[in-house]
Chain A
Amino acid sequence: MKPAPFAWHAPEDLAAALALKAQHGGEAQFLAGGQSLVPAMNFRVAQPAVLVDLNRVAALDSLAFDAEGTLRVGAMCRYRRIERDAEVARRLPLLVEALAEVAHPQIRNRGTLAGNLCHADPASEMPAVMLALEARFRLCRHDGERVLPARDFFLGPLATALAEEEMLAEIQIPALPPGTGTGFLEVARRRGDYAMMGVAAVLRRGPEGRCVAARLALCSAGPTPMLAERAAASLVGTRLTAEDFAAAAALAVAEIDPMGSVQASPAYQRHLAGVLVPRALALAAERAA
C-alpha cells in the first residue's frame, strides 16, 4: 500500500505544467486533488514515473460565471468550493444536488471536478451530470488548445479523448434557459458510495407548459456515462405527465447498457433505472414549472 517512486514537479503556472507534460509524455501524470490517482498509486495500479502536481498552479483554482452566464470551472477547483457557491446553487442546482452524492466531505475537500472527469469512472455521478448539462471541456497542450463537448470526451471505462500532452484545463457549463428544471437521483449501497444507478434529468417547458427540450443522462449505466436520447426525445411535445415519464423510462431502460458489479447485476441496474428515471423526471418537471 505504498506508491512506487516518482519524480515530483510542482510548477506554479499552467505553461510550465503543460511543458512538463509535453516533455515527459505518457510517463507523466497530472496530479490534481489526488482522490482517485493517489489510491491507484497506493495500490500500485498506477505507477507514473513523473507527477506534475497542479496544486500550486493558483490560476487553475478558478470558479466564475462569464458574461454569457457560462460557468467556468478551472482544473484545480475543488468540489467543496463548487458546492458551497450560492450562485452555482441558484443557477445550476443539478450540479450541487449531485455533488452531495459524491463520496464524503473529506474527499470533496480535496477532490476536483476536472480530476474526477479525467478519471472517467462510468459509475461516477459527475460525468453523467456533464452530459446532462451539455458541458464543454477546454483541453490545453503546450502548443495549443481545443474545446470538446462532454459527450465526445468519455470513450470507455477510465478512458477519455485526452491526448498524451493534454490537460483538461477548464470545464464550461452553459446557462440553463428559463423554464428549465433539473433533478438528480441515485441508489447506492451506502451514503457516499458509487451509485448502482444514477439519473440526471433536465427538462424545459414552453409557454404553454409543454416540454420543449429534454435530456437524460445516467451513471453506472454502461461503459461510459450514458445519454438516453430516445427517451429524452419522446418527452418533447408532451405535457410531462406520469404516463409520459413511464414511456420514457421504458425507452431509457432499453437504451442503457449496464455492466453489473459486485453490488448489482445488470438486470437489477435496469430495474433501478426504470424506477429512478420517472422519479427524476417528475422532480425536474416540478421544478420547471
Chain B
Amino acid sequence: MKFTIRVNGVEHTREVEPRLLLSDFLRHEIGLTGTHVGCEHGVCGACTILWDGAPVRSCLAFAVQAEGHEIRTVEGLAPGPGQLNPLQQAFRDAHGLQCGYCTPGILMTMTAFLEENPKPDEAQVREALSGNLCRCTGYQHIVDAVLLASQA
C-alpha cells in the first residue's frame, strides 16, 4: 500500500507491505541506516527512534502506522554535515561508545530524556538508560557522557 511518512522533517511516499517494520523501512526504503537493529523483539533498544518526540522501539511498529506522526532518527540530531550536536559531542568527549552499535538508540533515548530532565542526577540517568543494552562500554562512560551533556 502507498503511504507517506515524515522523517526528520522530510516527507517520503512509498509503496510498502503493511508488515514492513518501521525499523526496516527507515534502513532499507529510505536509507537511514543510523537506526540499528539488534534483537527485533523490543529488548535491546538499538532501534529506538522518536515518535512524536517520545522514544519508542521502531522494531515494534509497522511503518504504515507512522503516517501522520513525526519520526526523528539519529540522522536528525546533527546541526549540519560533519557536525555533532552537544549530546553527540559529549559522547565523543567522554568515550561514551566503543563499537557504536547501541549508540543511535541511546542518543535518541537520551535526547528525549534530557529535554524533560535537563539537569538529571546519576541515578536518573541510569534509570533512563535501563531500556538500552550496550555490550561494550559497561555503561559508565555513557552515564558520564549524558551528565557531561547536561552540564553544557
CA distance A105 to B60 in the complex (A): 14
A105 near B62 with CB under 8 A, answer: no
Return the contact of A104 from the options B1, B21, B65, B130 (Cβ within 8 A).
Answer: B130
B18 near A51 with CB under 8 A, answer: yes
Q: Taking chain B's interface residues, is the majority helix, strand, or loop, or is none over half, making it mixed?
A: mixed
B131, CB-defined interface residue at 8 Å: yes
Which residues 119-152 of B have a CB within 8 angstroms of A? 127-128, 130-131
**A109 touching B127 in the complex, CB below 8 Å, given contacts A38-B42, A39-B42:** no
CA distance A10 to B67 in the complex (A): 11
A24, CB-defined interface residue at 8 Å: no
Interface centre among A1, A51, A104, A192 (most CB of B within 10 A): A104
**A103 touching B131 in the complex, CB below 8 Å, given contacts A7-B18, A8-B64, A39-B41:** yes
CA distance A6 to B20 in the complex (A): 10
Whose C-beta in chain A lies nearest to the C-beta of B47?
Answer: A106
Which residues 174-194 of A have a CB within 8 angstroms of B? 190-192
Which residues 32-62 of A have a CB within 8 angstroms of B? 34-35, 38-39, 41-43, 51, 53, 55
A8 near B62 with CB under 8 A, answer: yes
A53 near B45 with CB under 8 A, answer: no
CA distance A38 to B65 in the complex (A): 13
CA distance A8 to B1 in the complex (A): 10
Collect the chain B residues with CB atoms within 8 Å of residue A2's CB: 19, 21, 24
Q: A42-B40, A42-B41 are in contact. List 18 more A-B contacts (CB 8 A).
A: A2-B24, A6-B18, A6-B19, A34-B62, A35-B42, A38-B21, A38-B42, A38-B61, A38-B62, A41-B19, A55-B65, A105-B55, A105-B131, A109-B51, A109-B56, A110-B51, A110-B60, A192-B131
**B residues with CB within 8 A of A:** 1, 17-19, 21, 24, 40-42, 45, 48, 51, 54-57, 59-62, 64-65, 109, 127-128, 130-131
**A residues with CB within 8 A of B:** 1-8, 10, 34-35, 38-39, 41-43, 51, 53, 55, 80, 103-107, 109-110, 190-192
